[in-house]
Structure 1
Amino acid sequence: MTAILTLAAIETGCQAMSTEQRTNLKFLVQLGKTPSEALGMLQQVYGDEAMSRSHVFELCKRFKEGCEDVEDNPRSGRPSMSRTEANIERVRQIVHGGRRLTVRLITNELGMNRDSVWKIITEDLGMRKVCANMVPKLLNDDQMDRRMQVCQDILECLETEPDLLGRVITGDESWIFEYDPETKCQSL
């Protein structure tokens, strides 16, 4: 929250400096200075913070044509900040409601930009995408019963033959799981 407030303060300071430069530029145009002379004076006063050459020339033209307003014109479009506390809370509720939702489904439901939703999920909520390949996540009742029966049979065999696992030869190490892995590291 403090970063947002700091960003807002910086933007307000930039807007004030920009308005100040436009006011000074209007004054220089009224004195009869050319756009190149006005640009040189602004660069002398503001240094690296001075307006760009194209912006100075455009504003000089507008002031010569009789424009009196030194403020920015209102802009249309969506607000610049879509990562508000309310939107973060809305995304949090949707994600906790169903963890298997895609970013596309969340954006369609909330009517937000996909990049904004992704940044909320990863940066604000601290979540990350995890997966494990070739491991069934949703088992039907028959598959769960079969898995349970196989595990019980192996445990019974281990009680009678403690060296059973030493005699098992497999092509890989994934012939049995005690749990469903949630991350790639766990599935190794």
Structure 2
Amino acid sequence: MTERVEQRICIKFCQKLGHTCSETIRMIRKVYGDDSMSDTQIKEWFKRFKDGRVSVDSDPRSGRPSTSRTVENVERVQDAINKNCRLTVRELEEDLAIPKTTITKILTEDLGMSRVKEN
């Protein structure tokens, strides 16, 4: 269990016991010290539980994934390299619409290539 989820459980517990938000913040700070959530986050979660929220898990977020270094992208890069081994990182970036930094990591870390031309 991650420490954030653990703290949310504690916040939910305190709210159910009838503690105030400021009391909850003090208790979280006492237990977790420097690793505790910010006051703003504690207040936000306290309010969510007070308003009837049950789950302590984060809500799913939309938008760009945190990384584009997926199995599918590794396969796409490998296929492109297999078709033309003289492609540069920049050409791969343009052809596959994957960031240059991600392509470099795929080539060096996932595919084990040691010489990567970046022009």
TM-score w.r.t. the length of structure 2 is 0.71
Q: CA deviation at 1:30?
A: 2.8
Q: CA deviation at 1:82?
A: 3.0
Q: CA deviation at 1:60?
A: 1.7
CA distance in structure 1 between the partners assigned to 2:17 and 2:50 by the alignment: 11
CA distance in structure 2 between the partners assigned to 1:18 and 1:52 by the alignment: 11
Q: Deviations over 1:24-78 (max 9, x none)?
A: 2012123332333212212333344322222112112222333333221111134
Map 1:168-179; keep pairs closer than 5 Å: none
Q: CA deviation at 1:106?
A: 1.5
Paired position in structure 2 for 1:89: 75
Bigger Rg, structure 1 or 2: 1
CA distance in structure 2 between the partners assigned to 1:108 and 1:70 by the alignment: 41
Paired position in structure 1 for 2:106: 120
Q: CA deviation at 1:93?
A: 2.9
Deviation beyond 6 Å, 4+ runs, structure 1: none
Q: CA deviation at 1:86?
A: 4.1
Shift in alpha-carbon separation, 1:74–1:93, aligned structure 2, 3 A: same
Q: Does 1:24 align with 2:4?
A: no
Identity score, percent: 43
Tell me which amino acid in the other structure corresponds to 2:115.
Answer: R
Alignment length (residue pairs): 117
User: What's the RMSD between the two structures over aligned residues?
Assistant: 2.7
Paired position in structure 2 for 1:111: 97
CA distance in structure 1 between the partners assigned to 2:114 and 2:78 by the alignment: 10
Tell me which amino acid in the other structure corresponds to 1:58.
Answer: E
SS state of the match for residue 118, structure 1? Answer: helix
CA distance in structure 2 between the partners assigned to 1:77 and 1:20 by the alignment: 26
Map 1:126-165; keep pairs closer than 5 Å: 126-129=113-116
Paired position in structure 2 for 1:70: 56
Structure 2: stretches of 5+ with no match in the other structure: none
CA distance in structure 1 between the partners assigned to 2:60 and 2:102 by the alignment: 24
* Equivalent residues of 2:77, 2:92 under 8 A apart: yes
* Equivalent residues of 2:89, 2:116 under 8 A apart: no
Tell me which amino acid in the other structure corresponds to 2:35.
Answer: E
Paired position in structure 2 for 1:142: none
Tell me which amino acid in the other structure corresponds to 2:23.
Answer: E
